[in-house]
Structure 1
Amino acid sequence: MIDLTGKKAVVTGGSSGIGRAIATTLAKVGAHVVVADLTEEAREGGEATAAVIVAAGGSAEFVKLDVTASAHVASVFAELDERLGGLDILVNNAGVLREGSVHETDDETWRTQFLVNVDGTFHCTREMVRGLLARKSPGKIVNISSISGFRGNPGFAAYCATKGAIVNFTRQVALDYAAHGINVNAVAPGFVTTHMTALYDQATHDALAAQTPRGRWASPQDVANAVLFLASPLADHVVGDNLLVDGGWTIGTPVELGA
């Protein structure tokens, strides 16, 4: 059984969907979870995620965090590090998805996705590593990449580019800090049922499910379970991996043979 009692974890983008599932899953096994997000008071906000955890008997708090603002991230992490006595786990889940092939993508759409998905992951990872090195403490960093970092996804040029960056960023940071006991890995979801993927109509959803060897889309909990493993002592010797949670999509699609 995984026990994270006494560990302090930060989950960015923890307001809803995958982020909320990750936050509640870490809390269930004893971690104190800092739900870090820009979304605060809405029904699916970070305060609501923290409240769900506390109501279930767990330990959590909400902090407002803009992952795109370097100085703000540094300030928030420094305050958390001092107040909580050091952070142990970081899950870089905050992300945005916008449609568009290259000729359809304007500068703002391109930059927004890189600012959140790539720069945000870099900002938070840098502060987490600085804190761990200062305390000479081991730690876990789990990034959320995507199958779109390993293969093309028609109509999502910027998103695929950002997730490809996260795949290799994960490997490089893992290589740089493995000797310090800092494990850096990533979870690469396939198609997951969240508000972000609501842009797919039902026919497309069903077609993609049919092309998945497992025969269905992932749930946020499927992704959270993989994050829990990588954030736990069970993954102490896992370094720089990108764990696919895609029902077999990346390795191949079912082949229908005629009669």
Structure 2
Amino acid sequence: MAVEVSLTGRVAVVAGAGRGIGAAVARRFADAGAAVAVVDSRLDRAEATAEAIRASGGTSVPILADLLDARSGTRIVTDTVRNLGRIDILATVAGGSWAYVPYRRMHEVADDEWELIHQLNLTYVFRLARETIRTFLSQGHGGAIVHIGSIAGVLSSPSAVAYGAAKAGIVSLTRSVAHEYGPDGIRVNCVAPGRIETPATTPAAGERMADFTNSIPLRRTGNAGEVADAVLFLASDLARYITGQTLLVDGGATATPGLLPASDTPTPC
């Protein structure tokens, strides 16, 4: 008997879907039959992903949103319901560290840098998930949420303590919300990638990249599609009895005794 991943008839919201992992997730959802709200901070990127989905026969709308705006969660949910009728799935992919705050030791981290990293990686996740859950409850048919964390949230994160703390917060948020809303038919899970090559990945020197790759049991870095496959699984009915979990997509990196030691120019996860 063939096993099919189908999201036909469902509506998915993907935050950070303009490029990289988010764009891959949006395309996977669409390929499985979902209508997709493509959310990004740049309209050109959101439109490009949405157009690619439509060109393949899918249904998609672009939504421009500044996730640092406290009102963005409400606007994203409202725009999605107005354009696509409902929401069944949320994937919170947007986030980042090195592109916004330089890597530095904890005693050198400024308050505004700490706050920015948490806004980018945790606070917006809470706000958007909160608004989505309100919609799930009003619709009365449950739903699925998949957050993107990082192995930085389950291991130490030297020279990137704010990022690691924010991603650890996502792991805890996932467990708590899954526990709280399980009786309502709402599943909440997290995918925690290791080193994934995307347009936003920190460039690494050849020797250091080789060292990092050699520390991964599968001896290579991952790609956005491999993370998207995990997100699709957790959002689908194949994972209908899975909630509150964090799935590590890291090539086995967290199964080893340890990753690379701290350095002045760390490679983020």
Q: TM > 0.5 between the two?
A: yes
Q: Structure 1 residues 144, 156: closer, same or farther in 2, change over 3 A?
A: same
Q: 2:163 aligns with which of 151, 159, 163?
A: 159
CA contact (8 A) 1:90 1:142 kept: yes
- C-alpha deviation, 1:156, in angstroms: 1.1
Give the alignment's TM-score, normalised by structure 2: 0.90
Q: 1:237 aligns with which of 238, 241, 244?
A: 241
Give the alignment's TM-score, normalised by structure 1: 0.93
Rounded Cα–Cα distance in structure 2 between residues aligned with 1:81 and 1:105: 40
**How many pairs align?**
251
Partner of 2:212: 208
CA contact (8 A) 2:35 2:84 kept: no
Q: Deviations over 1:148-173 (max 9, x none)?
A: 01101321111101101111010000
- C-alpha deviation, 1:61, in angstroms: 1.2
CA contact (8 A) 2:63 2:79 kept: no
RMSD of the alignment, in Å?
1.4
- C-alpha deviation, 1:107, in angstroms: 2.0
- C-alpha deviation, 1:253, in angstroms: 5.3
Residue ranges of structure 1 left out of the alignment (5+ in a row) = 255-259
- Specify the code of the residue in structure 1 equivalent to 2:138: A
Partner of 1:28: 31
Partner of 2:263: none
Rounded Cα–Cα distance in structure 2 between residues aligned with 1:10 and 1:175: 22
Is 1:146 the equivalent of 2:167?
no
Rounded Cα–Cα distance in structure 2 between residues aligned with 1:5 and 1:227: 16
**Structure-to-structure mapping, 1:42-61, within 5 angstroms:** 45-61=45-61
CA contact (8 A) 1:6 1:31 kept: yes
Of the structure 1 ranges 107-116 and 140-149, higher mean CA displacement relative to structure 2 is found in 107-116
- Specify the code of the residue in structure 1 equivalent to 2:16: G
Q: What SS does structure 1 have at the residue aligned with 2:33? A: coil
- C-alpha deviation, 1:90, in angstroms: 0.2
- C-alpha deviation, 1:104, in angstroms: 2.6
Rounded Cα–Cα distance in structure 1 between residues aligned with 2:149 and 2:216: 19
CA contact (8 A) 1:211 1:253 kept: no
Q: Deviations over 1:216-245 (max 9, x none)?
A: 111001100000000000111101000000
Return structure 1 stretches of 4+ with deviation > 6 angstroms.
none
Q: Deviations over 1:80-115 (max 9, x none)?
A: 224422100000111021322212322222111101
Q: 1:252 aligns with which of 249, 256, 260?
A: 256
Of the structure 1 ranges 192-201 and 8-17, higher mean CA displacement relative to structure 2 is found in 192-201
Rounded Cα–Cα distance in structure 2 between residues aligned with 1:46 and 1:83: 15
Q: What SS does structure 2 have at the residue aligned with 1:199? A: coil
CA contact (8 A) 1:149 1:167 kept: yes
Partner of 1:5: 8
Q: What SS does structure 1 have at the residue aligned with 2:253? A: coil
CA contact (8 A) 1:187 1:245 kept: yes
**Structure-to-structure mapping, 1:78-227, within 5 angstroms:** 78-98=78-98, 99-227=103-231
Of the structure 1 ranges 65-74 and 183-192, higher mean CA displacement relative to structure 2 is found in 65-74
- Specify the code of the residue in structure 2 equivalent to 1:56: S
- Specify the code of the residue in structure 2 equivalent to 1:24: R
Q: What SS does structure 1 have at the residue aligned with 2:158? A: coil
